[in-house]
A and B are shown apart, each in its own frame.
Chain A
Amino acid sequence: MSLLTLDSVCKSFGSTRIINDVSLDIEAGEKHAIIGPNGAGKSTLFHLISGRYNVSSGAIGFKGEVIHNLPPYEIARRGLARSFQVTNIFPRMSVFENIRCALLWSEGYRYSFWQLLGRQRTLNEKALDVLEQIGLSDKAQLPSGELAYAQQRALELGIAVASGAELIMLDEPVAGMSNSEAENAVALIRRITEGKTLIMVEHDMNIVFDIADRISVLVYGEIIATDTPQNIRSNARVQEAYLGEVPSDAKGD
């Protein structure tokens, strides 16, 4: 059985249909990329799966449970974590606190107001561990708002993966990075998503073809193809969507 199932998902804002009849199955352990031109609805699709928006019609299932129209925190608790296209951290808290907060729910602390964080040894060690993985150990006590951009992106990833969620969704994780920064980020993504299921939106095709097992192409709110990287490369409809239609009478004008 698939880990995540989208069944004829539609989303409209007013009379504009942004996502139209999207069906998709993501297997456990799969690395799945969603590509498509700007404005195709990739981020909207992420928001629908993670619960930021409610679906207009259709159904989303995760681990056999219906999750569409649940609030984001309910979905996150079931083991689905995500990052954001625009850096979305807790700017006034330290880097360490950012990660520790991301760990709290999965470590079972819930809304506890009777346990002191300083005494939770396992929790603190795990947080330091995540910091080590994302390479921010030496910035642990710095307010996260003061980090450099690439470091904030790393923290953004760290918050998403800290909870040990089974399904991780990354929205343009390397956007705005220089080449060397992007390289580091890709290595980081590989490392921290090992053995987990990954869905990511990315514009950089090298990274997409490098990481993904399967690719879905989203155009105008519809998935026109879902296949292995090789087959996507040679898919005529995908080329058409990306390169534009080359009509036979183009030269006749």
Chain B
Amino acid sequence: MKKQLPVWLGFALALVFLPSIFDSVLGISILNQMTIWIIFALSYNMLLGQGGMLSFGHAVYFGLGGFMSVHALNLIADEVFVFSITLIPLVGGAVGLVAAIFIGSFSTRKSGTVFAMISLGIGELIVASSLIFADFFGGEAGVTGDRTYGPPFFGIEFLQDAEVYYLGAFWLFVATLFMYLFTQTPAGRMANAVRDNPERAEFIGYSTRRVRFISFCAAGLFAGIAGGLFAINYEFITEENLNALTSGRVLLMAYIGGLGFFIGPIVGAVILTLMNSLLSNYSEMWMLYLGIMFLLTVIFLPRGFAGFIMMHQIAWQNRRLGTLILPYFVTAVPALVFLAAFVGLVELSHKGDDILPFFGLSLGAESMLSWGILLALAGIGALGVKLSRPRLAAAWALANTPTADDRGDVR
């Protein structure tokens, strides 16, 4: 813990100063979304990455926490219970925890496919019931609240998004810290052991079911906290926030970021939130791009982005990371050309009569020349990648062989 103090300090400082750097309305709004999704993705990784439980229904705890939080906002507004809205994430967390205790009591008996299927079934059950119990879930329209009614918190009434950001950042820091600390406890470590080899875990004295149950409850708690933040940030919540789409999205984040690393889901949540907020403004096709990116990640980077970065550890130890820069660059340029041309083709096919601005060119779907340019660029890019790949592979192999002078201490 002492060794990591600078990391945590850096994290806290980044959280404090980020809104000063990205101070536009959009910037703050994206940061707010990130706080929510990072907590949610980290909580998901407690299940899949650390506990080996593949869940297709984790949004249930996020959504239930969110719904209860919106209701809590309304109770504050109606002066039934009056407390500061800074504590709303705790309401969400408590609901997530209770739901997880109830559902986990039978779903954690097995891991693997059985667990995945139960999580899917429960998810669909809750979504379907949410449409039936319209009083609590508000039917398809959802429920709305207002975060500004509660007693001011040291004069802050949370009218501004920036104020909400600091509330979210506080909870993000606390939740991340506790989720990290959990991995360092006996229960957290045994979750890894049960993930790796449930059979052996039983023979060293641990009930795999109980170990999974504890992780499951903790994941539900933190998902609920994220749901509470969601309620404060958006002031409304609908059935969509507990359905399979949201569950899938958090799975995507954790996976793209890298399941095997604590920081992985953070990376994934940041990348996906950025893509979601920025790309969706520019293109209707962004979900298609997202799908393609996801599949490519699963195929080529099975350990996610964090895993990709960690792959360079050996080269770093060999002090040969520098030798990779040029080959990377040589491959990346044609790859980017191909990417740009591919995106251009996809966009052009859906432009109709509009003009597609493309790096200074004006392309039209009617013009054969436009198609030709893009196809040629794509071809050149693909060829460039194909030609430069052997060099990159060779450089990679070289960077990963220990240098002669330090072969002694690299064992």
A residues within 8 Å of B by Cβ?
A: 50, 52, 71-73, 76-77, 81-82, 84, 88-93, 97, 100-102, 104-106, 109-118, 138, 159, 162-163
Q: Are B205 and A88 in contact (CB under 8 A)?
A: no
Q: Are B196 and A116 in contact (CB under 8 A)?
A: no
20 A-B pairs (CB sep. < 8 Å)? A52-B199, A71-B202, A90-B201, A91-B197, A92-B196, A92-B260, A93-B193, A93-B196, A101-B189, A101-B201, A101-B204, A104-B204, A105-B205, A113-B182, A113-B214, A113-B218, A115-B186, A116-B184, A118-B184, A163-B205
A72 CA to B185 CA in the complex, in Å?
23
A198 CA to B2 CA in the complex, in Å?
42
Contacts of A92 in B (CB 8 A): 192, 195-196, 260
A92 CA to B196 CA in the complex, in Å?
7
B residues within 8 Å of A by Cβ?
A: 1, 181-182, 184-190, 192-193, 195-197, 199-207, 210-211, 214, 218, 260, 411
Contacts of B206 in A (CB 8 A): 73, 104-105, 111
CB of A94 to closest CB in B, whole Å: 10
Task: State whether A82 and B203 are in contact (beta carbons under 8 Å apart), knowing that A101-B189, A104-B186 are contacts in the complex.
Answer: yes
Q: Chain A CB within 10 Å — which of B184, B190, B199, B218 has the most?
A: B190
Q: Are A90 and B193 in contact (CB under 8 A)?
A: yes
Contacts of A113 in B (CB 8 A): 182, 185-188, 214, 218
Q: Are B181 and A116 in contact (CB under 8 A)?
A: yes
Q: Are B192 and A73 in contact (CB under 8 A)?
A: no
- Select A101's contact among B1, B190, B214, beta carbons within 8 Å: B190
Contacts of B195 in A (CB 8 A): 92
Taking A90-B197, A113-B185, A117-B186 as given, write out 9 further A-B residue pairs in contact, using a Cβ cutoff of 8 Å, ordered by the A residue number: A73-B206, A76-B204, A84-B200, A89-B197, A90-B201, A92-B260, A93-B192, A116-B1, A163-B204
**Interface majority SS on A: helix, strand, loop or mixed?**
loop
User: Number of contacts between A and B (CB, 8 Å)?
Assistant: 99
Query: What are the nearest 6 A-B pairs in CB distance?
Result: A105-B205, A90-B196, A113-B187, A109-B186, A72-B202, A76-B205
A45 CA to B201 CA in the complex, in Å?
20
CB of B310 to closest CB in A, whole Å: 13
B184 closest partner in A (C-beta):
A116
Q: Chain A CB within 10 Å — which of B195, B196, B201, B211 has the most?
A: B196
Task: State whether A112 and B186 are in contact (beta carbons under 8 Å apart), knowing that A91-B197, A101-B193 are contacts in the complex.
Answer: yes
A216 CA to B188 CA in the complex, in Å?
42
Contacts of B190 in A (CB 8 A): 101, 104, 111
A84 CA to B204 CA in the complex, in Å?
12
A106 CA to B184 CA in the complex, in Å?
18
Q: Are B202 and A115 in contact (CB under 8 A)?
A: no
CB of A214 to closest CB in B, whole Å: 25
CB of A95 to closest CB in B, whole Å: 13
Task: State whether A159 and B204 are in contact (beta carbons under 8 Å apart), knowing that A92-B192, A111-B210, A113-B214 are contacts in the complex.
Answer: yes
A51 CA to B199 CA in the complex, in Å?
11
- Select A111's contact among B186, B192, B201, B260, beta carbons within 8 Å: B186
Q: Are B218 and A71 in contact (CB under 8 A)?
A: no
Q: Are A111 and B197 in contact (CB under 8 A)?
A: no
Q: Are A71 and B193 in contact (CB under 8 A)?
A: no
Q: Are A111 and B187 in contact (CB under 8 A)?
A: yes
CB of B93 to closest CB in A, whole Å: 15
Q: Are A112 and B185 in contact (CB under 8 A)?
A: yes
Q: Chain A CB within 10 Å — which of B181, B200, B211 has the most?
A: B200
A117 CA to B182 CA in the complex, in Å?
10
B260 closest partner in A (C-beta):
A92
Contacts of B210 in A (CB 8 A): 111
Contacts of B186 in A (CB 8 A): 104, 109-113, 115, 117
CB of A85 to closest CB in B, whole Å: 13
